Chain A
Amino acid sequence: DVKVTQSSRYLVKRTGEKVFLECVQDMDHENMFWYRQDPGLGLRLIYFSYDVKMKEKGDIPEGYSVSREKKERFSLILESASTNQTSMYLCASQGGGQTVKAFFGQGTRLTVV
């Protein structure tokens, strides 16, 4: 079965720390996405990647960067974590085609103190 795995379910980090959120998919998908989910705001796209080493900014890229060195892995980096980055982070993976659905990881709930 299809699998998208995020490295951590829960994380607590201190303000100013560099934080890495890892996402791995086993479906050989070209497209991978990082979303942030906050109550009442739905999912907001941070960054996405459509190929190895390719990345595009989403709606809220400020304070984040990403890395995609291998097709199966897409990392989200918080260069200097701040309390307003406390949120649920969701990774998604998707193949080509208009109708193909996205597969999601289980989410990482990050708290920055």
Chain B
Amino acid sequence: AQKITQTQPGMFVQEKEAVTLDCTYDTSDQSYGLFWYKQPSSGEMIFLIYQGSYDEQNATEGRYSLNFQKARKSANLVISASQLGDSAMYFCAMRETMDSNYQLIWGAGTKLIIKP
């Protein structure tokens, strides 16, 4: 079974609108971490935001916030006031505590296109 599911292969959003990218995960661990990365057309993976499973507050980093709903096993990325430069692939990833080598488990990604 998929451990990380991103249900939106692609999204088109008007510039300046807020965007929510979906991510659901599956783990039996109590302690785990959730990450979002951005991959522009240049290919480099850029870290955006992290949420620990025991963090009481949703993580925020500038225009990025993570809507963490633990009971629903959901970790959606919210981008406020989208910009043309936000057009990219976005990947959700998880690290389970049981994994002593800190491997990340990745979703298939969502291609976000911001329209002017």
User: Which residue numbers of A lie inside 8 Å of B, CB to CB?
Assistant: 9, 31, 33, 35, 40-45, 48, 50, 56, 58, 88, 90, 92, 94, 96-107, 109
A56 cross-chain contacts in B, Cβ below 8 A: 101
Residues of B within 8 Å of A, CB-based: how many?
Answer: 27
Task: Report the bound CA distance from A96 to B97 in whole Å.
Answer: 13
A107 touching B44, Cβ below 8 Å: yes
B35 at the interface (CB under 8 A from A): yes
User: Which residue numbers of B lie inside 8 Å of A, CB to CB?
Assistant: 4, 6, 9, 31, 33, 35, 37, 42-47, 50, 52, 91, 93, 95, 97, 101-104, 106-109
Known: A43-B91, A106-B43. A98 touches B33 (CB 8 A): yes
B9 cross-chain contacts in A, Cβ below 8 A: 40
Apart from A43-B104, A97-B102, A98-B97, 10 more pairs, CB < 8 Å:
A33-B103, A40-B108, A42-B109, A44-B106, A92-B45, A94-B102, A102-B45, A104-B44, A107-B44, A109-B43
B108 cross-chain contacts in A, Cβ below 8 A: 40-42
Cβ distance B24 to chain A, nearest Cβ, rounded Å: 14
Most buried by A among B4, B52, B109: B109
